[in-house]
């Protein structure tokens, strides 16, 4: 039975039993404490906590999940994986154990012809929590499971909670006996390799008041409404129903593994080392594809880093199998899309964008691998030469920061060389680099309040009504005030506050559109609104400062949006839609939106693309968009079903997930997009759009920045004035400027080259004089010299080699020169062959000098270069070099 059919049967069974089937939530978790969804119940957590009302009392889903704590073990075993799917049925205060247990048993044991999975009853074992006699009674007396196949287990195995105060309760798990060839007798308590867990029923019946660990918590009492949370691993079910040994041999995974083996001309099952790489590739390509499809982009932070790490491990393992510089990720991604597309049809719709992102990351990392591996090899050689066993944190950080080498890859490759890595040192350096940015980002999105506080506000206030599409001012009432993350009844002048209103005209930041600013006014207070966020769906939080008076919960309030700012942002948002359509017309459907920011008077627009966009295309898109403005097309917004919007050809942001009902914004017949933002009434209100340029912001993603309206006009006015000033200076017509400037630049570059040649010749003129002034130290000719300030590193190197070449081949010679090209000193050392035979090494001498200069450096034995930060120490550095040579020769 294929994986897609397993999912279909599960959902059909529970739909027939009154469950509302909901689609998988995005892998991007709504919970700000999570990067990605790690379990099937996570999207339902707000319902279990009472923060939101569920869409129905009974739900069922197939949820995509990603877990990466054991990523290093993926491939080494056949049990670990990063991506998996959880089939789940959920009850929110509706049915409980007496129905949940028979549901699970019926679906597992019912015949295939009747829509079940046809598990032999005698193959199934059950575990329950130690004192859950109620569950045992249901299993034995109602379902008919023999007592010898029911086992009691403790808190570690059969009790569930969220890790924080909240609902919890005992579990009852179902195991499938794979037979004696997989392990010993005795049920799940004896061997969980032979007895494979397929289903977990969680009975949420208690309120936990304190949670200290998995097995240490306090129970406050029973929940007023008891809930059911179940999970059945799709990959485990497929392993059993397809008669294979492990998850790497099921239909969806093995297709990727087999394709990787074919591409790299290997065969699974022959070489244990190759098998590890094939399993890594199969798992990681599938995970990477699913993450990209949900809008995650490769990056160096957060979930972007998770994706980058996963993709790069795939690419490196392809190289370990002998792929060289061949690019195979496109083919493997295509196989993944076909394998998973029946369950997740959006993969096939978004295939061009998924390919664009993954192909670009592969191209980028292959270059990183070439450079980084060479640097890594040098670091390993140096460490081993010194009889060391650990690569320093500085070396690991340099590989990461300078060459883009992920730390996990450094750890993996070091382990292959029998070395460790100073992870603590690396983490310390990374922490110093990232700490401030992380703090800023966290404060921006979640403020100081715990999400449970927001959940309580939503429960008290209900969903906040947004009036801002039609109004920029409105009467409302204060339903909640937060100060420093805690609910308060009143806040006085000077306080930084977060205020929730019953309804609001203020737009909360989202969909790329910046938040509104404005003013809240009561009979006794005024609050400046400086930011508006929606920390959980349905809640709008106004952040700002109390200017005067005291604001209280229950106050009637006049909410007033800064109208000019709103209009400017709306113009930018409408312009973004037009530019999106323009790039699709110019580059094709692969140019999908991957992010945006709509600010007053300007916007940035990110889109997927394989490479840089030619200037001619930028000009064409700009011309096309401004033609739309001249035609003054009407802007229309309306609500419809997601299916109908797709059928109309409405564009959606790549990776964004939408509800059943969506808002469509049309600009004439030119643009049609799903969008919740605010817009102008007609395209002519934009006035003018000026594209400033484009750049790369990551693998497979380009960014365009542009100005709108009066900002675009002012920019062009400044540009026109500048051109007028230049034409006046050069005494030419405007159309002649490019040719005249090109001529001036060409002559300037020629003059600079001539000056460089002259300067080099002047420097080299003193080579003979320096050789003649050499000191004799124990039979070695030694030249130490400070070059004139401004002498460049290349000239110093040429001079050192020239002076060295003026000594007879059998005469040992050392030349050490130092200078200050700009503000930092540089030192170059050159040793001839006869000098090297006396044990003198250029790299060591440069190290001595560079240390005195407050820096570092090195190189080969015959010539080396270094530098520092203390130009005043050059004379001291040259003296120390001379002393080092004398001491070594003596």
- 8 Å CB contact between 129 and 156: no
Q: How many residues does this entry show for the chain?
A: 890
**Half-sphere exposure for 430 (CA within 13 Å, toward CB):** 17
Is 65 annotated in a binding site? The answer is: no
Strand partners, 595: 606
| Residues 460, 828: Cα–Cα separation, whole Å | 73
Contact 538, 501 (CB under 8 A): no
**Ramachandran sector of residue 61 (left: φ over 0; alpha: ψ -120 to 50; beta: rest):** beta
Query: Which residues partner with 63 through β-bridges?
Result: 86
Return the CA Rg of the chain: 34
Distance CA 853, CA 443 (A): 42
Ligand-binding site membership of 675 (annotated): yes
CA distances from 183 to 178, 732, 741 (A): 9, 90, 81
CA 411 to CA 406: how far, in whole Å? 9
Question: Is 398 in contact with 378 (CB distance < 8 Å)?
Answer: no
CA 496 – CA 504 distance, rounded (Å): 19
* DSSP letter assigned to residue 788: P
Is residue 679 a known part of a binding site?
A: yes
DSSP 432-447: HHHHHHHHHHHHHHHT
Signed CA dihedral, 338, 342, 345, 347: sign only = negative
Say how far apart CA 709 and CA 336 lie, in whole Å: 45
Cβ burial 11-21 (10 Å sphere, 16+ → b, else e): bebbeeeebee
854 Rama sector, left if φ>0, alpha if ψ -120 to 50, beta otherwise: left
Query: Which phi-psi region, left, alpha or beta, contains residue 349 (left: φ > 0; alpha: ψ -120 to 50)?
Result: alpha
Strand partners, 161: 168
Tell me if 19 is assigned to a ligand binding site. no
- Reported as half-sphere exposure (CB side, CA atoms, 13 A), residue 839 has a value of 9
User: SS3 for 387?
Assistant: coil
d(C-alpha 476, C-alpha 570), whole Å: 24
Q: How far is CA 571 from the centre of its chain?
A: 30
Q: Which two three-digit tokens encode residue 824? A: 């930092």
* Residue pair 564/587 in contact by the 8 Å Cβ criterion: no
Binding residues: 573, 577, 675, 679
Residues placed in the known binding site for Zn(2+): 573, 577, 675, 679
């Amino acid at each position: 039975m294929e994986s897609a059919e397993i999912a279909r049967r599960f959902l059909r069974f529970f739909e027939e039993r009154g469950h509302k089937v909901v689609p998988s939530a995005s892998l991007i978790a709504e919970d700000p404490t999570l990067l990605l969804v790690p379990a099937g119940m996570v999207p339902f957590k707000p319902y279990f906590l009472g923060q939101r009302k569920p869409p129905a009392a009974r739900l069922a889903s197939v949820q995509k999940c990603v877990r990466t704590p054991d990523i290093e073990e993926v491939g080494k075993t056949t049990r670990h994986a990063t991506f998996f799917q959880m089939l789940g049925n959920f009850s929110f205060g509706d049915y409980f154990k007496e129905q949940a247990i028979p549901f699970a048993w019926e679906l597992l044991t019912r015949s295939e012809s009747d829509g079940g999975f046809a598990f032999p009853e005698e193959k199934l074992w059950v575990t329950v929590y130690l004192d859950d006699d109620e569950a045992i009674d249901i299993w034995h007396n109602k379902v008919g499971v023999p007592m010898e196949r029911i086992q009691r287990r403790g808190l570690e195995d059969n009790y569930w909670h969220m890790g924080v105060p909240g609902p919890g309760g005992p579990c009852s798990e179902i195991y499938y006996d794979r037979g004696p060839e997989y392990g010993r007798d005795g049920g799940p308590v004896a061997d969980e390799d032979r007895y494979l867990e397929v289903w977990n029923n969680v009975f949420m019946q208690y309120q936990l008041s304190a949670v200290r660990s998995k097995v240490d918590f306090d129970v406050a009492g029973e929940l007023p409404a008891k809930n059911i949370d179940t999970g059945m691993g799709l990959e485990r079910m497929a392993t059993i129903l397809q008669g294979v040994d492990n998850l790497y041999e099921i239909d969806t995974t093995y297709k990727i593994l087999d394709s990787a083996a074919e591409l790299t001309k290997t065969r699974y099952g022959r070489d244990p080392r190759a098998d590890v790489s094939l399993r890594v590739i199969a798992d990681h390509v599938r995970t990477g594809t699913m993450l990209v499809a949900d809008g995650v982009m490769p990056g160096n932070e957060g979930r972007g880093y998770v994706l980058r790490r996963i993709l790069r491990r795939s690419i490196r393992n392809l190289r370990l199998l002998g792929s060289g510089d061949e690019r195979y990720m496109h083919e493997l991604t295509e196989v993944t899309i076909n394998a998973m597309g029946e369950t997740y049809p959006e993969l096939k719709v978004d295939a061009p964008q998924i390919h664009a992102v993954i192909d670009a990351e592969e191209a980028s990392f292959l270059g990183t691998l070439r450079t980084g591996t060479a640097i890594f090899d040098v670091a390993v050689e140096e460490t081993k030469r010194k009889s060391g066993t650990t690569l320093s944190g500085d070396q690991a950080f340099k590989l990461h920061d300078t060459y883009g080498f992920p730390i996990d890859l450094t750890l993996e490759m070091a382990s292959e060389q029998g070395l460790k890595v100073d992870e603590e040192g690396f983490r310390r350096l990374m922490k110093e680099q990232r700490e401030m940015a992380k703090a800023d980002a966290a404060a921006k999105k979640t403020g100081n309040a715990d999400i449970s506080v927001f959940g309580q506000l939503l429960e008290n206030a209900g969903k906040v009504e947004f009036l801002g599409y039609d109004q920029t001012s409105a009467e409302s009432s204060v339903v909640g005030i937060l100060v420093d993350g805690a609910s308060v009844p009143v806040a006085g002048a000077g306080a930084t506050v977060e205020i929730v209103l019953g309804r609001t005209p203020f737009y909360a930041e989202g969909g790329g559109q910046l938040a509104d600013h404005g003013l809240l006014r009561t009979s006794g207070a005024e609050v400046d609104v400086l930011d508006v966020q929606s920390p959980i769906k349905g809640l709008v939080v106004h952040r700002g400062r109390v200017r005067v008076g005291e604001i209280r919960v229950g106050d009637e309030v006049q909410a007033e949006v800064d109208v000019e700012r709103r209009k400017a942002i709306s113009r930018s948002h409408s312009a973004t839609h037009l530019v999106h359509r323009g790039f699709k017309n110019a580059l094709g459907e692969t140019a999908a939106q991957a992010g945006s920011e709509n600010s007053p008077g300007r916007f940035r627009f990110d889109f997927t693309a394989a490479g840089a966009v030619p200037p001619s295309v930028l000009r064409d898109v700009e011309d096309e968009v401004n033609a739309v403005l001249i035609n003054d097309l009407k802007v229309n917004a309306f609500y419809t079903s997601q299916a109908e919007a797709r059928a109309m050809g409405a564009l959606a942001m790549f990776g964004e997930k939408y509800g059943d009902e969506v808002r469509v914004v049309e600009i004439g017949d030119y643009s049609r997009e799903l969008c919740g933002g605010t817009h102008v009434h007609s395209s002519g209100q934009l006035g003018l759009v000026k594209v400033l340029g484009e750049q790369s912001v990551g693998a497979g993603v380009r960014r365009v920045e542009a100005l709108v309206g009066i900002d675009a006009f002012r920019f062009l006015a400044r540009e026109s004035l500048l051109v007028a000033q230049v034409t006046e200076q050069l005494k030419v017509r405007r159309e002649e400027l490019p040719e005249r400037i090109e001529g001036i630049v060409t002559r300037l570059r020629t003059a600079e080259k001539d000056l460089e040649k002259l300067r080099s010749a002047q420097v080299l003129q003193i080579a003979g004089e320096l050789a003649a002034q050499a000191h004799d130290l124990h039979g070695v000719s030694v030249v130490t010299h400070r070059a004139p300030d401004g002498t460049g590193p290349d000239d110093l190197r040429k001079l050192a080699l020239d002076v060295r070449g003026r000594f007879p081949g059998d005469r040992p010679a050392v030349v050490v020169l130092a200078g200050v090209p700009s503000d930092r000193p540089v030192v170059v050392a050159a040793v001839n062959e006869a000098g090297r035979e006396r044990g003198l090494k250029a790299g060591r001498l440069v190290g001595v000098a560079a240390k005195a200069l407050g820096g570092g450096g090195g190189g080969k034995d015959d010539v080396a270069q270094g530098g520092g930060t203390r130009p005043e120490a050059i004379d001291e550095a040259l003296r120390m070099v001379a002393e080092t040579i004398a001491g070594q020769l003596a």
